[in-house]
Chains A and B, each alone.
Chain A
Amino acid sequence: MSVLGLVFSNPELYGSTLAMATPLALGALGGTFSERTGVVNIAMEGIMLVGAFFGVMAAASSHSAWVGLLAGVVAGGLISLALAWPAVRLQSDQVILGMAINLFAAGLTAFLLNTVYGFGGTPISTPQLPQLTIPILNNIPFLGAVLGQQNVVVYLMILLVIIGHFFLFHTNLGLRMRAVGEHPEAADTVGINVVRIRYFGVLIGGMMSGLAGVYLSIGMLNSFEVNMTDGRGYIALAAMIFGKWTPFGSLGAALLFGFATAVSFSLQNYGVSANLIGILPYALTIVALTGVIGRSKAPAADGLPYEPSK
């Protein structure tokens, strides 16, 4: 069999695609929740870092990965309020806020890593989130190798994408969120509390990005390293746009980008540059925005501050 044949017929490639896609999908889903209410969120990178760090810290000190997960999610939610408050209440520029949060989170987590754990880094005894084995699925050939045995967060992600879709498109609150993201003044005139909805969207989004970070630190590994997100927050942003601000779209785009990464890892052994594949998400995002494959259109009021009734 040719080299490519070998690479592509290996089920592990698809298993690692799913693993690689998970933080991207969670980040993109988080961004979707925020931007659907009209708050531009480019802070996924920073929120993920914060989630990753506090996930490890809580897991290490409580000796429970689950406590770590919870702490990372809560930390993600809290830091996202630093975006929500000025964006919603003070009508500040959301892109600049997002950038500021990314820079702040990188500095904060590096500083805390150093002060709390010093030179040696996070403890090697930090517990990790478990891999799950799905009984029957695991025994199916090929599919079992892809889906049967993954980290618990991978399954959580799939669940959240489905719930997220259902929530946004089949519940009253989801309808209101979309309305606020499209035309906040119109939503205001029918009695929807624009401020509250936007807080809610950003907060939920922050928690999901926090979970993405937790997955990186105590899902894939059991440690935190400086700037360990390594641009995944931005790729998540790309996945959100490429996925047209929908949960399933986000997942699809994340899988595509995850696949590219997984392939590049496999091909590295055969001497193909990983950098080349690294630009794929951004290149595809540009393609999506130019409308070659059905135009990707942001919610109409995305990024526009709204001042409620005077």
Chain B
Amino acid sequence: MAILEIRNLRKVFGSVIANDEVNLSLEAGETHAILGENGAGKSTLIKMISGLYKPDAGQILLNGVEQHFANPRDAILAGIGVVHQHFMLIPALSVAENVVLGSEGSRFLFRKKDAIEKVLRISKELGLPLDPAIKVQDLPVGMQQRVEIVKALYRNARILILDEPTAVLTPQETEELFAVVRRLNQDQIPVIFISHKLDEVREIADRITVMRAGKSVNTMPVADATAKELAQLMVGREVVLETIKTPAQTGNVVLSVEGLSVRDDRKMTRVKNVSFDVRTGEIFGIAGVDGNGQTELVEAIVGLRKLEGGKILFLDKDITAESVSGRIHRGIGYVPQDRQRDGLVLPFTVADNLILRSVGNQPFSKSGWLQKKSTRASAEKLIKEFDIRPPLADAQAVSLSGGNQQKVILAREMSREPQLLIAVQPTRGLDVGAIEGIHRHLLSLCEQGKAVLLVSLELEEIMQLSDRIGVMHAGELVTVMDAKKATRETLGLAMTGERVEEGVAP
């Protein structure tokens, strides 16, 4: 008998049918992947299974017994552990406090030592080292995910659900996660694994269920599925998995970074004497393992972080002392890494989010008055162009699925036709169809003679799109190479800090 069985589950939000006739069965010890486009309804399904949303129709059965979860507590008690797409951790509390919160295991007094011990024990069993005393806000995202997993298992989860767990991980962290998933499977704990990355799904999953437009369209063993087939099932049309890139016609220098050094919030130098140029018509890719200074470098270029040393030139003007808004008005577009925190005003509508950067400008504002009509018209155009779903200009940004939030930011930044677009992980959490779209948009920017600085943890993405690739390691730009000459091996080597032979001096 299936451990978990979903029968004809349905959930409607206003006019949006998020889930409809969803069926799924989860067997003991298997890893079951759910694939689907952005907005297909994957997270909604998970939220119903975990008691956050109440289904409008259909059944959830555990070991054959129908469940009616009134709240998340019921689901936890039934043995369901979830790592949500947007982590549910409290930044101001310690790791240990986050793990035991709500199930502290003592009657009245909070026993800090016990909590720390429990975290250490579970993380050791799983092979996921964690410092229980540190505050979550001081942890990188990869570590935060460990906290979430430990948190679920501390609650004796007998089913583990991971909603897009690898979107924020480095390749190495992904491998560690997979090891954990395999170990859990061996202990007969089934795992639901949501992802957009077909190769990962093929590596880790036993069976795959594809969702499209709120429905579960097919379930199959992983061996029977080819990447092309899966992509087609998800999107409902044929997808070009590889974008064709024409060689760049590079021109003048748009951005020039000279001897840049940057410190992080804790006054540690995270970027050391980095210099490079980005020219019109090219995509300059920055590869590297997460946390090697890419974030700080970008924040410094955008003006969010002070320089310790060095100079930034944009279109031959020294902008080192310029404000963020000054830089934006000069023509720099920025797609930040943390879309929920930095990129969107979640309670605002999609239309308002789309003009955030241009509020004061024609045609969105005339002598200080907002122009609703032109805002709407432009929003509708962008929604269509970037395939934002649901296609409602008045929807609140917070109600959009993770991937569609990302599309809103990209649409906004690209629509301003910046001379230079700085994109950090622009396709994180996007489905194959959407990635194809974003890649096309980036390439077309270059064809129009604009420049792109692309920071990504995905080697494939960097290699596919870039004209030149810089690799960062421990705050240094260890190499800059021609993308045509770059291979996975040379890049991978550089990412560990090796200076690569054929790398031209930056």
Q: A residues bordering B, Cβ < 8 Å?
A: 170-176, 178-179, 182-183, 185-193, 299-300, 308-310
Contacts and interface: CB of A to CB of B under 8 A. Distances in A.
Interface residue SS majority, chain A: helix
B244 interface: no
Given A172-B106, A175-B110, A309-B72, A192 B101 contact: yes
Interface stretch (B51-59, B233-241, B256-264): B51-59
Given A179-B93, A309-B52, A309-B53, A192 B102 contact: yes
A285 to B, nearest CB: 21
B88 A191 contact: no
A192 B72 CA distance: 9
Contacts of A188: 52, 71-72
Contacts of A190: 72, 76, 88, 101-103, 151, 155
Contact of B73 (A171, A173, A183, A191): A191
B274 to A, nearest CB: 30
A183 B108 contact: no
27 contacts: A172-B109, A172-B110, A174-B110, A175-B93, A175-B104, A176-B101, A178-B92, A179-B90, A179-B102, A183-B91, A187-B102, A189-B84, A190-B76, A190-B88, A190-B103, A190-B155, A191-B71, A191-B72, A191-B73, A191-B77, A191-B103, A193-B71, A193-B73, A300-B91, A300-B92, A309-B52, A309-B54
B93 A171 contact: no
Interface in B72-121: 72-73, 76-77, 82, 84, 88-93, 97, 101-104, 106-110
B50 interface: yes
B90 A186 contact: yes
A172 B115 CA distance: 11
Contact of B88 (A171, A178, A183): A183
B364 to A, nearest CB: 28
B13 to A, nearest CB: 8
Given A178-B93, A183-B91, A189 B109 contact: no
B110 A185 contact: no
Contacts of A175: 93, 97, 101, 104, 110
B102 A176 contact: yes
Contacts of B77: 191
Interface in B22-62: 50-54
Contacts of A183: 88-91
Contact of B108 (A172, A186, A189): A172
Nearest to B76: A191
Contacts of B84: 189
Nearest to A301: B90
A171 B82 contact: no
Contact of A189 (B88, B104, B106, B110): B88
A310 B52 CA distance: 7
B53 A310 contact: yes
Nearest to A175: B110
A215 B95 CA distance: 41
Contacts of A174: 110
| Most chain A CB neighbours (cut-off 10 Å) among B72, B76, B77, B155 | B72
Nearest to B109: A171
A152 B71 CA distance: 45
Contacts of A300: 91-92
| Most chain B CB neighbours (cut-off 10 Å) among A175, A193, A299 | A175
Contacts of A308: 71
Given A172-B107, A188-B71, 4 more contacts: A182-B91, A189-B72, A190-B76, A309-B53
A310 B77 CA distance: 19
A171 B108 contact: yes
Contacts of B108: 171-173
A308 B52 CA distance: 8
A310 B54 contact: yes
A300 B91 CA distance: 9
A171 B106 CA distance: 9
A170 B72 contact: no
A182 B108 CA distance: 21
B90 A187 contact: yes
Given A175-B97, A190-B101, A190-B103, A170 B90 contact: no
A50 B77 CA distance: 43
| Most chain B CB neighbours (cut-off 10 Å) among A176, A300, A309 | A309
